[in-house]
Amino acid sequence: MAIATTNPATGETVREFDELSDDALEQALQRAHDAFRSYRHTSFDDRAGWLRRAADILDDETEELARLATLEMGKTIGAARAEVGKSALGLRWYADHAERILADVPWSPRSAPEGARVFTRYEPLGPVLAVMPWNFPYWQVFRFAAPALMAGNVGLLKHASNVPQVALAIEDVLRRAGLPEGAFQTLLLSSSRIEGVIDDDRVRAATLTGSEPAGREVGARAGANVKTSVLELGGSDPFVVLPSADLDAAVEQGVQSRLLNNGQSCINAKRFILHDDVADEFERRLVAAFEELTVGDPFDEDTDLGPLSQPQGVEDLDRQVRDSVAAGARVLTGGKPLDGPGNHYPATVLTDIPENAPAHREELFGPVALLFRARDVDDAIRIANDSPFGLGGSVWTTDPAEQERCVNEIETGMVYVNTLTASTPEVPFGGTKNSGYGRELADFGPTSFVNAKTVWIQ
């Protein structure tokens, strides 16, 4: 895939970039290695200062940075501004909390004599490779970089090939914030060269946010090199609505959760599992809400739903919907790409989805809501778990017993009750099953890429 900025709303290629040559890559890896030797000895105060300055730059330049994201991947301009703001929040949160999270952890073994000191000390690993997706092109990167840099690691970013200008802007922001030379570098590389980077001895760990196939490759390569990895992969999150739910709130947040980021978020509500008692009403209101949306230019402040990021995304979604309909699913609204330039796909609702339809088990990465009906809470949990993915999930019920059952029995990394699944720096984020392993954010972020060294002094 060419490294280029192509406007998803028009299909026009605005700018192309050359990949790094082998020599330039070698220099970048050596720079990271050299930078780590001194960066690891910088103080928490210094690192926090650089992150806070980077957050200030994001705040000062929100408009320009947001416009770059909208141009490159098509999210609505309002959503892009919010993402830049959230990235600043993440930087500041880690500037404030990393020292506490990474403090020595004392132990009191019975066999230690009086006066002995036994503790865990967290040491950085070195250069960490981050393979990142286009869908939250700032947030995903800062979500990795803020805790990793606070822990004393240095970062190497291989960003998605369709967001090179955002990738370069992130490096530039951190450099202008004062981060030492080489402590965070963007590598303009195609994914075919990532194996070589993971194999390089100077690179000590890898993290990938993206699709399951890419995650399998990066995770396998890291494993073959005995290097640690974190994988945040796709999801097909359930959104379970039971009879005691506040239906107004469930519909409102269901619409929001399915369509966030033009339907291209790993934690979008994708499978709506509706109890028979509320299914007709929920379905009617969801379809009505989808039909009221304004689809179009993501730079227009009135647009609710912008284009998908790439033509391939539209092709994949179209195939999944068509094959599901051929298998027996019914389209309640939308259902095929919009005519005209750009990667526009309308908000779509599918129901009566048979088990052999792609929509039953695959992730649909676009604005398509999948409706399933459940007889009771057991049936709802069974359907929720009938997925190879296990990222997040949202459950709507005011019954404490049902809440407890769903929390305990839904097989995902995150369950949110009476609210949509969301991410914030203060709360851990990550999945299970084919949605990946490891956790980001909160106290887990900084400890993902460290050597937890046991120290015993007597």
Select 156 or 242, whichever has its Cβ closest to ligand NDP.
Answer: 156
- Provide the phi-psi class of 126: left if phi over 0, else alpha when psi is between -120 and 50, else beta: left
- Shortest gap between Cβ of 332 and ligand NDP (angstroms)? 24
Q: Which residue, 160 or 289, has its beta carbon nearer to ligand NDP?
A: 160
Give the nearest residue (CB) to ligand NDP.
Answer: 210
Cβ nearer to ligand NDP, comparing 206 with 251: 206
Shortest spacing between CB 34 and ligand NDP, in angstroms: 25
Report the interface residues with ligand NDP, using CB under 6 A.
1, 131-135, 158-161, 190-191, 194, 208-211, 214, 217-218, 232-235, 266, 363, 365, 391
When the beta carbons of 133 and 307 are compared against ligand NDP, the nearer one is 133
Contacts of 280 by beta carbon, 8 Å cutoff, 6+ apart:
none
Between 118 and 422, CB nearer to ligand NDP: 422
- Identify the residue whose tokens are 């796909």: 345
371 and 251 Cβ atoms separated by less than 8 Å:
no
Shortest distance, position 99 Cβ to ligand NDP, whole Å: 26
Cα end-to-end distance, the chain, whole Å: 57
DSSP per residue over 149-183, as a string?
Answer: HHTT-EEEEE--TT-HHHHHHHHHHHHHTTPPTTS
By beta-carbon proximity to ligand NDP, the closer residue of 20 and 214 is: 214
Q: What's the CA dihedral at 413, 418, 420, 424 to 10 degrees?
A: -70
Phi, psi of 387 (to 5 degrees): -155, 145
* 453 DSSP β-pair partners: 121
d(CA 129, CA 264): 24
The string of DSSP codes covering 7-50 is: -TTT--EEEE-PPPPHHHHHHHHHHHHHHHHHHTTS-HHHHHHH
CA torsion sign for 201, 31, 25, 139 is positive
Total count of residues recorded for the chain: 458
Q: Which of 72, 171, 266, 402 is catalytic?
A: 266
Q: Which residue, 95 or 214, is less far from ligand NDP as judged by CB?
A: 214
As measured in angstroms, the least distance from the Cβ of 392 to ligand NDP is: 9
Query: Which residues touch 366 (CB under 8 Å, ≥6 apart)?
Result: 262, 263, 264, 308, 313, 314, 317, 345
Q: Rounded to an integer, what is the distance from CA 80 to the centroid of its chain?
A: 15
Q: Which of 232, 363, 402, 440 is catalytic?
A: 232
Could you give phi then psi for residue 455, rounded to 5 degrees? -125, 130
* Annotation says 232 is catalytic: yes
Q: How far is the CB of 354 from ligand NDP (least distance, A)?
A: 23
Three-class secondary structure of residue 209 per DSSP: strand
Measured from the CB of residue 134, what is the shortest distance to ligand NDP in angstroms? 6
Cβ proximity to ligand NDP: between 169 and 266 the closer is 266
DSSP assignment of 72-119, as one string?
Answer: HH---HHHHHHHHHHHHHHHHHHHHHHHHHTS-EEE--TTSPTT-EEE
Decide if 266 is catalytic. Answer: yes
Non-local (6+) Cβ contacts of 60 within 8 A are none
Calpha distance 85→80 (Å, rounded): 9
> Minimal distance in Å, beta carbon 281 to ligand NDP?
30
Min separation Cβ 1 and ligand NDP, Å: 5
SS3 285: helix
Residue 29 CB, shortest distance to ligand NDP, in Å, is 16
* Dihedral sign, Cα of residue 376, residue 378, residue 380, residue 383: negative
Of 165 and 403, the one with the shorter C-beta distance to ligand NDP is 165
Catalytic residues: 232, 266
